[in-house]
C-alpha cells in the first residue's frame, strides 16, 4: 500500500430525491482490480432506469460489500476502495436531483459523475494536436479572378503562399475531432479522463447546439461541461484562460481546449483584402492540473471595443445560406486600420506578458503569435524589439486560421522547443479581443 494511500467506502450514487434504493445488477470489477476515474464499477437498476456506477477517482477495489441482485439503500456503502487521491479524503456523496421531465429523461440522468477536486495553483499543457483539411489551395489558383495580381504579389503583401480549405462535406466539428483525438493521444489520456471541453470558434457548425456539444458526443466524453466561446482570433487563448480558471477553482483536472475555424466558405471571392488570407483548420490541447507538462505561467485576456468593426461578419456560421437577402454574408476587414491596431497591440502584449512573468525579453525563446499575416508579425516584432527569428511563423503554409492558429503552430513546432524554453503566445482578434499566455516548457 503506497504511503499516501487510504481506504474509503462508496455508496451508490443517488438517482432522484424520491428514490431510496436500487438493485446491483452486475459488478464489473472484483477485489484487487485497479480502476480509473470514470470507469464503470457496476451496473445498477433503479426505479427509473438502469445506470452505470462510475468510479469517482483512480484506485483499487478492496472489498465488495453487497453482491449482484442485492437491493441496497443509497445511503449504504457497497464497495471499499483504496486510493491516493487527496481530494477523496473529504468526499461527500452527491445529493439527488429532484426534477422530472415527463418521459423525455430527467436532469439526474444527464448529471455528470461528480468530480471531487481540490483547486490546483499550477496547470500545464500535457498534449497537443492539429488537423488541417487535405485540400491545399495555392495563390495561383485564387488569382484567376484577379488579372492584375500575381501569386508573388499576394505572398509579398500577406505572407501567405498556400492555405488548407475544407471539402464540401467537411464541417468545423470534423476538424475539431481530428485535432482533439491527436491531442488526447499525445497527452496519454482517454475520453473518460476529460472533465471539461472548451471550444473556441466564430464559425460553428450551427447556431445551436454548440459545436462543443457536437464534439463531446463524437469523442464519447462523459456528461461534463462543454461550451463554445467566440473571441475571434483570440479565442483559443481565451479558452486556455478559462481552462486555467476551472482547474484553479477545483472544477476540473483535465480540460480539452480546442480552437477551430472554417473560413473558406465565408470569404468573398471578389474581395482581394480577404479571399487570399484565410485558411481552415483546428488545434487542440489537453490542460491538466500540476506541473507535469508545459506550465502556464501567466494568462491575460481583454477587449477594446474602440476597434469594434475593424473585422466583422453579420451572418453567423461557417457557410453562406441560400435564399437570404438583406445582409452582407461575407467577412469584411478594414485592412489598414486593423494593421495599425494589431501591430501596436501585439507589441504591447509581448512586453506586458514578459513583465508579468518576471522575464526579460531576452529570456524569451519563442513568441508564438496568432498568424494574422506576415507584415503584422514583422511590425510587431520590430516594435517590441524581439528578433524575428524568435517569432514562429507558419502563415505562409496555412494562412490565417483564426481561433486555430496558435494551437496549430504549437503542435507543429513542439519538437523544436527545448525543456525550459520560455514562450509568449499572443493574439489580437475581431472585437478587438486580445489574449496573451506565457509558458515555460
Catalytic residue set:
233, 370, 400
Residue 265's closest CA among 203, 312, 210? 203
- In the three-class reduction of DSSP (H, G, I as helix; E, B as strand; rest coil), residue 42 is classed as strand
Report how far apart, in Å, the C-alpha atoms of 204 and of each of 164, 173, 184, 359 are: 18, 8, 22, 37
Q: What H or E segment, with its residue span, contains residue 381?
A: helix 374-384
Q: Which helix (H) or strand (E) holds 34?
A: strand 34-35
- Say how many C-beta atoms besides its own lie within 10 A of residue 153's C-beta: 14
What is the side-by-side strand order in the sheet with 71-73? 50-54, 40-45, 21-27, 71-73
Residue 102 has which C-alpha cell? 415527463
SS3 content of the chain, % helix, strand, coil (to 5): 30, 30, 45
H and E: helices and strands count for the chain: 10, 21
Q: How far apart are the first and last CA of the chain?
A: 34
Amino acid at each position: 500500500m503506497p504511503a499516501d494511500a487510504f481506504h474509503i467506502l462508496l455508496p451508490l450514487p443517488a438517482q432522484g430525491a424520491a428514490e431510496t434504493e436500487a438493485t446491483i445488477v452486475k459488478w464489473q470489477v472484483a477485489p484487487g482490480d485497479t480502476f480509473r476515474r470514470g470507469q464503470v464499477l457496476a451496473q445498477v437498476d433503479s426505479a427509473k432506469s438502469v445506470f452505470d456506477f462510475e468510479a469517482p477517482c483512480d484506485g483499487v477495489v478492496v472489498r465488495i460489500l453487497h453482491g449482484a441482485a442485492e437491493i441496497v439503500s443509497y445511503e449504504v456503502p457497497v464497495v471499499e476502495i483504496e486510493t491516493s487521491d487527496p481530494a477523496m479524503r473529504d468526499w461527500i456523496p452527491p445529493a439527488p436531483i429532484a426534477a422530472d421531465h415527463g418521459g423525455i429523461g430527467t436532469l439526474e440522468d444527464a448529471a455528470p459523475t461528480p468530480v471531487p477536486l481540490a483547486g490546483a495553483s499550477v496547470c500545464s499543457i500535457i498534449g497537443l494536436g492539429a488537423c488541417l483539411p487535405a485540400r491545399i489551395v495555392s495563390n495561383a489558383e485564387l488569382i484567376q479572378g484577379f488579372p492584375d495580381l500575381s501569386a508573388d504579389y499576394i505572398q509579398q503583401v500577406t505572407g501567405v503562399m498556400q492555405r488548407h480549405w475544407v471539402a464540401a462535406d467537411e464541417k468545423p466539428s470534423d476538424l475539431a475531432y481530428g485535432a482533439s483525438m491527436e491531442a488526447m493521444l499525445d497527452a496519454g489520456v482517454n475520453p473518460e479522463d476529460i472533465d471539461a471541453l472548451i471550444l473556441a470558434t466564430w464559425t460553428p457548425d450551427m447556431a445551436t447546439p454548440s459545436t462543443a456539444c457536437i464534439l463531446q458526443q463524437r469523442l464519447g466524453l462523459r456528461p461534463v461541461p462543454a461550451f463554445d466561446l467566440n473571441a475571434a482570433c483570440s479565442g483559443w487563448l481565451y479558452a486556455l484562460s478559462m481552462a486555467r480558471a476551472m482547474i484553479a477553482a477545483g472544477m476540473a483536472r483535465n480540460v480539452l481546449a480546442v480552437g477551430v475555424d472554417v473560413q473558406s466558405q465565408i470569404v468573398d471571392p471578389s474581395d482581394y483584402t480577404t479571399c487570399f488570407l484565410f485558411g481552415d483548420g483546428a488545434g487542440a490541447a489537453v490542460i491538466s492540473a500540476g506541473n507535469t507538462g508545459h506550465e502556464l505561467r501567466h494568462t491575460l485576456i481583454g477587449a477594446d471595443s474602440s476597434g469594434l468593426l475593424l473585422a466583422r461578419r453579420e451572418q453567423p456560421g461557417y457557410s453562406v445560406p441560400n435564399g437570404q437577402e438583406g445582409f452582407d454574408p461575407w467577412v469584411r476587414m478594414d485592412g489598414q486600420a486593423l494593421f495599425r491596431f494589431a501591430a501596436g497591440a501585439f507589441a504591447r502584449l509581448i512586453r506586458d506578458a514578459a513583465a508579468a512573468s518576471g522575464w526579460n525579453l531576452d529570456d524569451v525563446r519563442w513568441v508564438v503569435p496568432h498568424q494574422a499575416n506576415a507584415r503584422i508579425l514583422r511590425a510587431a516584432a520590430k516594435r517590441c524589439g524581439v528578433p524575428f527569428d524568435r517569432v514562429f511563423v507558419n502563415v505562409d503554409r496555412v494562412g490565417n486560421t483564426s481561433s486555430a492558429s496558435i494551437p496549430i503552430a504549437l503542435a507543429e513546432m513542439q519538437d523544436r522547443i527545448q525543456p525550459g524554453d520560455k514562450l509568449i503566445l499572443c493574439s489580437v482578434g475581431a472585437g478587438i479581443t486580445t489574449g496573451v499566455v506565457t509558458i515555460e516548457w
